[in-house]
Amino acid sequence: MTTHSRRRLLQALAAGTAAYTVPGLFAEALKTTVSLGEGPFYPDKMPLDTDNDLLVLNEGITPAIGEIAYVSGRVLTKSGEPLRNGYVEIWQTDTNGSYLHSGGRNIGGYDSNFQGYGRFVTDSKGQYFFRTIKPVEYTLQGAFRCPHIHFAISKSGHRLIATQMLIKGHPANERDGIVKSNRAKGEMLESVMVDFKPVASSKLKEYTANWDIVVGRTAEEMEDGTLGIGLGKPDRPRFNPPKAKK
């Protein structure tokens, strides 16, 4: 598939994410998504390909190994407004439990065809979209983790939240140290538990996962560069988000 064809496919799929969102959310019904942190394996060297299709690298013809997942949703403020031109990053392991990070490779090797990291700028409705693999459980450096995808949201050069999408109802959740520690603190982990639903019409084993992320800021606060980022301390972002096209 050419770059142009891939771009058209992803744009069409991204446009369809509106069908999975819940319209008319009231501000009082919105609960801020729990921040679970970015973990130690945010890429220490960015791949050459950083688009929102993690299954195919550049012009490669061999896709990554794994069950395909179409991950979509909206980024909203605590007052219910869509986060326009927000910068969404995701990263996760391949099916071997290996990250893109140089210190995050597992003993089982790694899938060289898996991008491992992707970016997306939200549209006027706050929508984002990724094509990736359904996350898998793994043990890395002696630590067990349930299946998850790391998310980070930035706006106007400020990191608003770093958290993790977990699979709702997955049995490995109960063995995960991060899940246990946050439940002990009384955190509302329901905000990060997401259904992965099989695509009924697909001949492949594909899933859709829709997740609306609510950041603990209003639009006015996010535009104010004097405020700290959502992780609780002022800091510089890891990179400067690209300027939105007018």
- Known catalytic residues are 99, 138, 145, 148, 150
- DSSP class of residue 34 equals P
Residue 103 near residue 44 (C-beta atoms within 8 A): yes
Residue 165 near residue 71 (C-beta atoms within 8 A): yes
DSSP SS3 for 220: helix
Residue 235 near residue 159 (C-beta atoms within 8 A): yes
Alpha helices in the chain (DSSP H): 3-15, 177-184, 219-223
Among residues 160, 216, 209, the alpha carbon closest in space to that of 21 is found at: 209
DSSP SS3 for 99: coil
State how far the Cα of 137 lies from the Cα of 177, in Å rounded to an integer: 13
State how far the Cα of 6 lies from the Cα of 59, in Å rounded to an integer: 10
Residue 64 neighbours by CB under 8 Å, 6+ apart: 54, 55, 56, 94, 95, 111, 113, 114, 115, 133
Residue 192 near residue 169 (C-beta atoms within 8 A): no
Alpha helices in 16-146 (DSSP H): none
Across 58-126, where does the E strand assignment appear? Answer: 68-77, 87-91, 117-121
